[in-house]
Structure 1
Amino acid sequence: MAPTQDEPSSQELLQAQVDLWHHALGFVKSMALKCAMELQIPNTIQGHGGSMTPLELATKIGLHPCKLPRLRRLMRVLTVLGIFVIHEAASEDKEVVYGLTPTTRLLVSDEVKSNLFPILSLMLDSTIIFPFLGMHSWFLDECSTSLFKKAHGITFWEMAGQHETYNQLINNAMVSDSNFLMDIILRECGDVFLGINSLIDVAGGHGGAARAIAKAFPHMKCTVSDLPHVVAEAPTDGNVSFISGDMFKYIPPANALFLKWIFHDWGDEDSVKILKKCKEAIPPRDAGGKVIIVDMVVGSGPNEIVTRETQVLYDLFIMCIEGIEREESKWKKIFMEAGFSDYKIMSVLGVRSVIELYP
């Protein structure tokens, strides 16, 4: 019996079912990637010359023979997703060969400057994943406790302060992100640092970004300002100095300030407070004063579905710790409330942008 004009066709219903299954099974992608990382599959294939058969891979990572068929199924998912690639066997009786892709190479440990393994490890850590299992009850809860705190009893930052291993996980993640992103920033829009004599990397962690800037601009005095427990563990480096401090109370003076991936951790009210301290620390615009922000501007960047989805997914992801990703109108609002006069957005970093903010 044919559907009426207002009823969906059988094919439309089946496609709707596929769409729902696809979205519902999205977590399997994350878990498959996490499994491959924890099994050190990218490093193992790289160390074997960049290609391995399933049997070679299973043997090298120490799997029991009974797990070989399961490994093939895991790798089939990851190759369909484009994380690995399959080199077809020369004949039907030979095994396929797994190879790396540009995506996988970002997870190989010897690729120091582009190794994103640490930050993916933080994003896929059980402490981050677990709170989302109770997100529905959190929405129904009247209190303002963060999703992370509701699940763990303490905030994300309190956990970092109380547990050295977790604090190191976060610091390693931030350093890996800086190592990856700073080369691209300096290559694509390094002009934002021209003419700056002194720069403070506010909440700059262990100084990954500051070191990259100092190396590219040797004349510039680069300093990292962060909380005492972060600075205490920062590696010493002659090109970068470290200052303990709280950005809500005081930011040391400099020609320019650099804040990479900071404001998305804070709501509008706190962001305005930070920006006001920033404004106090820099000279007027005609004297070269400015704030350089690296953060997400939702809706900016490549007009591709994967970019737009990643931006809004990350916004929901960081909601777990009461963070937020902003559209340009929201950025403008907090800039003006903090007393700044103008800004410029450069959408050259994929899902993120560089923002020059002027007093």
Structure 2
Amino acid sequence: MASSSSSSRSINGRKASEIFQGQALLYKHIYAFIDSMCLKCIVELDIPNIIHNHGKPIPLPELVSILKVPETKFDNLGRIMRYMSHNGFFVIVKTQEETEEAYALTAASELLVKGSDLCLAPMVECVLDPTLSGSYHQLKKWIYEEDLTLFGVSLGSHFYEFLNNNPDYNSSFNEAMASDSHMIHLALRDCNFVFEGVESIVDVGGGTGITAKTICDAFPKLKCIVFDRPQVVENLSGSNNLTYVGGDMFQSIPKAEAVLLKYILHNWTDKDCIKILKKCKEAISSDGKKGKVILLDMVINENKDDQRLTQIKLLMDVTMACLNGRERTEEEWSKLFTQAGFQDYKISPLTGLLSLIEIYP
């Protein structure tokens, strides 16, 4: 029998308890892809909509009946539901009869109800598409390539070139971005001060115009231009104060009093961001007037944000690195603004992840 002192003996300078914690962390990351695949599974099975349409928490037997799951897989679906409940996507409650457990939606799974005003299911479907998510198996190869993006390594072209050449993926990506724009509307609801007094605005990379339409509804006298790749806007129709223009933001941006860049600059290198910001500065500085550029983007702040929020921001930073982009700290943002010729900026909180940054020439 080992002596009691052996359990406290260090291995490589670490206690056994510390090594076991390390093992648990390692296994958590080894199997982290299961989180994404379970999320994809409940979206593909339309489980959030089934519970929503049920009108009350649904017991597992009713769920498997609706889904027509083979009896041999009842337990397997139950395991997935239990795991996703543990992760915050469902709440397990007792039925009114107190005879069995049932599953209810949470704030997270409500965002997966298709057809609702705030639905991020298209984001799940786009990001977890095997062609795109499979690219991350090439991280090692990408690290050794001097200039290629991750998708350049795995798909043979930059991500946006891939979208241009693959209409189905382009459509999926546009739907994902549109779903995210609905979330931004919720955040902008209390930010009317940003647009008050502005007579014209260009939403660069504005997609199908969801954010622009929200702004136009709130400010009917505001002239709004949605500016995006020609493939995105070519079949879209505007209205009295909303127009669509196709083009390349690296060449020129339509002139306006304000330029909106929502989730744009994190896609690009510092060098490219400076080019884009300079084009923005040209667009808002015509006729001797000086407007402003409005950014909706992340600001990494490890000293003030809690650990969980910082983890998500740093995770997104790795994701954007694969596009040769990045998430930035305030110091990194400030440096970009100065190099692009801007004199001042103001950062306001918007959501837990996003900040609103106003930049002045």
Q: 1:317: how far off?
A: 1.4
Tell me the distance in 1 between the aligned counterparts of 2:159 and 2:25: 33
Inter-partner Cα distance in structure 2 for 1:7 and 1:273: 50
Identify the residue that residue 312 of structure 2 maps to in structure 1.
310
Question: In the TM superposition, what are the counterparts of 1:317-356 in structure 2 within 5 Å?
Answer: 317-356=319-358
**What is residue 114 of structure 2 aligned with on the other side?**
109
Deviation at 1:287, TM superposition (A): 4.8
Instruction: Report if the CA contact (8 A) 1:205-1:231 is conserved.
Output: yes
In structure 2, C-alpha distance between the alignment counterparts of 1:267 and 1:50, rounded to whole Å: 48
- Cα deviation code 1:268-300 (max 9, x no counterpart): 11111111111111138x956100010111127
Aligned to 1:48: 54
Between 94-103 and 296-305, the greater mean CA deviation after superposition = 296-305
Q: Which residue in 2 is equivalent to 1:149?
A: 152
Aligned residues with identical type, % of pairs: 38
- Partners of 1:134 and 1:261 in 2: CA distance: 25
Provide the TM-score with structure 2 as the length reference.
0.92
- Which of 162, 182, 189 in structure 2 is aligned with 1:186? 189
Q: Which amino acid aligns with 1:246?
A: D
Distance 1:335 1:300, change over 3 A: farther
Q: Quick one: structure 1 residues 7 and 311, their matched pair in 2 at CA, closer, same or farther if it must change by over 3 Å?
A: same
On the 8 A contact 2:266/2:327 being kept in 1, the answer is yes
TM-score normalised by the chain length of structure 1: 0.93
Equivalent position amino acid for 1:157 in 2: Y
Query: Deviation per CA, 1:119-177, whole angstroms, max 9, x where unpaired?
Result: 222222222211111212222x2432111121111221112111111111111111111
Shift of 1:319: 2.1
CA contact (8 A) 2:93 2:103 kept: yes
Instruction: Look up the match of 1:234.
Output: 236
Question: Partner of 1:195: helix, strand, or coil?
Answer: coil
Give the C-alpha shift of residue 233 in structure 1.
3.3
Q: What SS class does the counterpart of residue 133 from structure 1 fall into? A: helix
Moved more, 301-310 or 271-280: 301-310
**Separation in 2, partners of 1:71, 1:158:** 39
In structure 1, distance between residues paired with 2:270 and 2:216: 31
Report 1:164-179 matches (<5 A): 164-179=167-182
Partner residue, 2:33: 27
Q: Deviations over 1:95-140 (max 9, x none)?
A: 310110011111111322x11111222222222211111212222x
Structure 1 position 161 matched with structure 2 position 158: no
Output aligned runs, 1:53-202, within 5 Å. Answer: 53-88=59-94, 94-112=99-117, 114-139=118-143, 141-187=144-190, 189-202=191-204
Match of 2:3 in 1: none
Pairwise CA distance, 1:11:
2.5
Query: Using the alignment, how far apart are the partners of 1:217 and 1:165 within structure 2?
Result: 34
AA aligned to 1:125 is D
Rounded to whole Å, the distance in 2 between the matches of 1:308 and 1:220 is: 36
Code of the residue aligned with 2:154 in structure 1: it is: A
Structure 1: distance between partners of 2:322 and 2:214: 30
* TM-aligned CA deviation for residue 240 of structure 1: 1.5
Q: Which deviates more from structure 2 when the two are superposed, residues 63-72 or residues 12-21? A: 12-21
Look up the equivalent residue of 1:70 and give its one-letter code.
N
Cα contact 2:237–2:244 (8 A) shared by 1: no
Distance 1:23 1:227, change over 3 A: same
Q: CA deviation at 1:330?
A: 1.4
Shift of 1:346: 1.1
**Aligned 8 A contact 1:302 1:350 in 2:** no
Q: Any unmatched runs of 5+ in structure 1?
A: none
Give the distance between the partners of 2:290 and 2:62, measured in 1 at CA: 58
Summarize the Cα distance change of 1:12–1:88 in structure 2 as closer, same or farther, 3 Å threshold. farther
Contact 1:221 1:240 (C-alpha < 8 Å) held by counterparts: yes
Say whether the 8 Å CA contact 1:301–1:351 is kept in structure 2: no
Please say which of residues 295-304 and 118-127 is displaced more in the overlay: 295-304
Return the alpha-carbon distance in structure 2 between the equivalents of residues 323 and 59 of structure 1. 46
> Which secondary structure does the structure 1 equivalent of 2:186 belong to?
helix
Structure 1 residues 231 and 136: alpha-carbon distance in aligned structure 2, compared to 1, 3 A threshold = same
